A and B are shown apart, each in its own frame.
Chain A
């Protein structure tokens, strides 16, 4: 009995130790922040982490090959990490003292910059001859924290509207334009809906979607003083409008209906199946839709009181532990210059952030494009992009919205109640930048 007891408790102990171990293993090397194991002598041996899949890997590698051809003294090891685990992996690398030299960042950029993990790039960029304004337009300083730039834009495209041409033609509705108001939009959705069979719109439950509506309505998620403003009237109105699309007007499938489309089929998948007439999402849906049987095109997002649309994209940052920040910046300069940026569109990966490339024929008529798609839409939308608040607590804020708004999307709660609760939660999460 005693032996058995000792054995089992020890196992229990071990099992738990393992759980604790996962958390703390990362602690082991945290003190060696100074020496990045990745880069050696003063030369240009750099490690670059990016997320994505095969297309992304090809695109980044091709650009790096171009870079190495031009600057033979620089060599870059590309580490592609699946999107879902990217943040954890990079976190572990940094905590373990072998962080990357160049890392891809997006909305979460200030998680790192606020924790002193990225080098401020203003001076370095000047040194490398990058004029952010001129090269990227209004998004040049998108990845900033406390007036310092921490990442150079690399990919950037507005959210756009995909619409099913067949369904629109059948109802005699003109293609959507940037001048559609919420009312025009709603009545079009209503016409395009066949209850239980076909829906006008895929929904606006994702932050990128309903935030666009909130900003269109004159709202802000985080106000100018850095405090959350989730329960301000314009935001509440926008969320209520998005919720009503599902629960009052029935022009958006309910969660239940989505779950019936298949495991993890969301708006993009349902649109490709031809069940949904309009879907608002990013550039990435194009390649999949080229293979689908439906007839479709793209358009800019409609407007509210004003134009506003979320931008998707990512930037390249230089980590604090990079041995040779100058070389890293030299590499980023080249990667965001036209020659390398063209590869982004040639491989069908994304919208290049470089404005010259966005306006070039390489982008407007990509070689791989097999359907007549109006690529001008990206350029048209770029002036509508609002500046989303990339706060250091980004992930927690998103989680609070996801959990808090769920009841609105399923019609159990009105937007005001839900957003009031979320606002309280956000106030404990977000410490205004001092």
Chain B
């Protein structure tokens, strides 16, 4: 509160030139406004400090200890990081798998989302029904969807039956080291509905005039799509890209449900960073080590997000932006 009290007069002090008449009243109002601001923002601020910032700082410290979640942690310096980076093959396998998963599932999700949104934007019969159907899978709890996928992907399951009709001998999907990651990606595509809805909304927001002008100039529908629709959508595509990257790097439930259970998937081929972290923290009681993994994961995501932002300047188009 002291900061507030100091800040308010300082600002008011700059104001007298314009409103010399009632500086005191203005000051009071400003202060009141600031008070309301902090009052309304406080749930978030408190929530952030208590539930995010505090634990985050704590986890930095814990990542430098050998804490087992029961006994007093011993400070071990950078040992956890050193061991992860130089002495733990599973970490590198998990990282590699995670990058593979993200590199395929995110672009694939975007492309499919764009395609579906474009289809839904056409004047088709029962458009609302299609829109609902495409969004519906997003509402199915992930674990339930994963259980269904497990059945669909069974070696003699429906998917392989269909492939068999086309004369293709289907792989054993979840049991095959080469196919387990594509199976996970397949499940990620299941949730493409949310990206589709965002893209569709943005498509609807593109001014008609642009298309009319293009039509007058004789642009084909394809040309219109690539020269008007896509550039206008880039901010949303970019948003989906970044959120998708973050989500993909943190993939957990799908991996957990699909690859563990009675019939186990080959772990080397399927483990990703968060399940690895989960095992270390809650099955092996290496909380300190797990904290170190979470910070390395943070750095990895931060790195990829920064790359996305760097390149964004080249391809993301904002209408209000002056170039």
Question: Which A residues lie at the B interface, using CB under 8 A?
Answer: 1, 4-5, 8-9, 11-21, 23-28, 30, 87-88, 91, 94-95, 111-112, 115-117, 255-260, 262-266, 393, 395-396, 399, 402-403, 406, 410
Residue of A nearest to B306 (CB): A9
CB distance from A404 to the nearest CB of B (A): 10
A24-B62 contact, Cβ under 8 Å, with A8-B305, A12-B246, A266-B262: yes
Task: Pick from A12, A14, A15, A26 the residue with the most CB of B within 10 Å.
Answer: A12
Residue of B nearest to A206 (CB): B262
Q: How far is the CA of A20 from the CA of B297 in the complex (A)?
A: 10
How would residues 143 to 182 of chain B score, 1 for a CB under 8 Å from any chain A CB and 0 otherwise? Answer: 0000100110011110000000000000010110000000
B283 in contact with A399 (CB, 8 Å): yes
Q: How far is the CA of A257 from the CA of B155 in the complex (A)?
A: 8
Binds A, one of B127-135, B190-198, B207-215, B274-282: B274-282
Number of interface residues of B (CB under 8 A): 60
Binds A, one of B10-18, B46-54, B97-105: B46-54
Residue of A nearest to B267 (CB): A403
How would residues 45 to 73 of chain B score, 1 for a CB under 8 Å from any chain A CB and 0 otherwise? Answer: 00000011111101100100001111100
Report which of B175, B294, B297 forms a contact with A256, defined as CB distance below 8 A.
Answer: B175
CB distance from B297 to the nearest CB of A (A): 7
Q: Which residues of B contact A1 (CB under 8 A)?
A: 313, 318, 321
Query: Does B84 sit at the interface, judged by CB under 8 A?
Result: no
Question: Which B residues lie at the A interface, using CB under 8 A?
Answer: 51-56, 58-59, 62, 67-71, 147, 150-151, 154-157, 172, 174-175, 235, 239, 242-243, 246-247, 250, 261-264, 266-268, 274, 277, 279, 281-285, 287, 290-291, 294-295, 297-298, 301-302, 305, 309, 313, 318, 321
CB distance from A422 to the nearest CB of B (A): 13
A18 in contact with B52 (CB, 8 Å): yes
Q: How far is the CA of A20 from the CA of B62 in the complex (A)?
A: 11
Report which of B62, B262, B305 forms a contact with A12, defined as CB distance below 8 A.
Answer: B305
B154 in contact with A396 (CB, 8 Å): no
Q: Which residues of B contact A27 (CB under 8 A)?
A: 55, 58-59, 62, 67, 287
Q: Which residues of B contact A9 (CB under 8 A)?
A: 302, 305, 309
24 CB contacts below 8 A, A to B, read A9-B302, A12-B305, A15-B250, A17-B53, A18-B52, A19-B274, A20-B294, A23-B281, A24-B62, A24-B291, A26-B287, A27-B58, A87-B282, A87-B283, A95-B69, A116-B71, A255-B172, A255-B175, A255-B263, A257-B155, A260-B155, A264-B262, A266-B263, A393-B284
Residue of A nearest to B298 (CB): A16
Q: How far is the CA of A112 from the CA of B151 in the complex (A)?
A: 38
A12-B261 contact, Cβ under 8 Å, with A24-B62, A95-B70: no
Report which of A25, A256, A393, A399 forms a contact with B279, defined as CB distance below 8 A.
Answer: A399
The secondary-structure label for the interface of chain B is helix
Task: Pick from A111, A112, A259 the residue with the most CB of B within 10 Å.
Answer: A259
Which 3 residue pairs of A and B lie closest in terms of their CB atoms, listed nearest first? Answer: A24-B55, A266-B262, A24-B59
Q: How far is the CA of A350 from the CA of B250 in the complex (A)?
A: 40
Q: Which residues of B contact A258 (CB under 8 A)?
A: 262-263
CB distance from A228 to the nearest CB of B (A): 16
B301 in contact with A12 (CB, 8 Å): yes
A265 in contact with B262 (CB, 8 Å): yes
A12 in contact with B242 (CB, 8 Å): yes
Report which of A13, A20, A115 forms a contact with B68, defined as CB distance below 8 A.
Answer: A115
> Contacts A13-B302, A259-B263 given; 5 further ones with Cβ under 8 A?
A23-B62, A24-B58, A27-B59, A88-B282, A403-B267
A24-B70 contact, Cβ under 8 Å, with A16-B298, A263-B151, A395-B284: no
A23-B287 contact, Cβ under 8 Å, with A11-B243, A259-B172: yes
Q: How far is the CA of A116 from the CA of B281 in the complex (A)?
A: 18
Q: How far is the CA of A411 from the CA of B215 in the complex (A)?
A: 64
Q: How far is the CA of A337 from the CA of B294 in the complex (A)?
A: 47
Q: How far is the CA of A272 from the CA of B302 in the complex (A)?
A: 51
Q: Which residues of A contact B54 (CB under 8 A)?
A: 28
Q: How far is the CA of A393 from the CA of B67 in the complex (A)?
A: 15
B150 in contact with A263 (CB, 8 Å): yes
Q: How far is the CA of A17 from the CA of B281 in the complex (A)?
A: 16
CB distance from B218 to the nearest CB of A (A): 33
Q: Which residues of A contact B290 (CB under 8 A)?
A: 23
Residue of B nearest to A31 (CB): B72
Task: Pick from A1, A19, A28, A410 the residue with the most CB of B within 10 Å.
Answer: A19
A259-B175 contact, Cβ under 8 Å, with A23-B291, A115-B285, A395-B283: yes
B56 in contact with A21 (CB, 8 Å): yes
Q: How far is the CA of A12 from the CA of B302 in the complex (A)?
A: 7
Report which of B68, B235, B283, B301 forms a contact with A16, defined as CB distance below 8 A.
Answer: B301
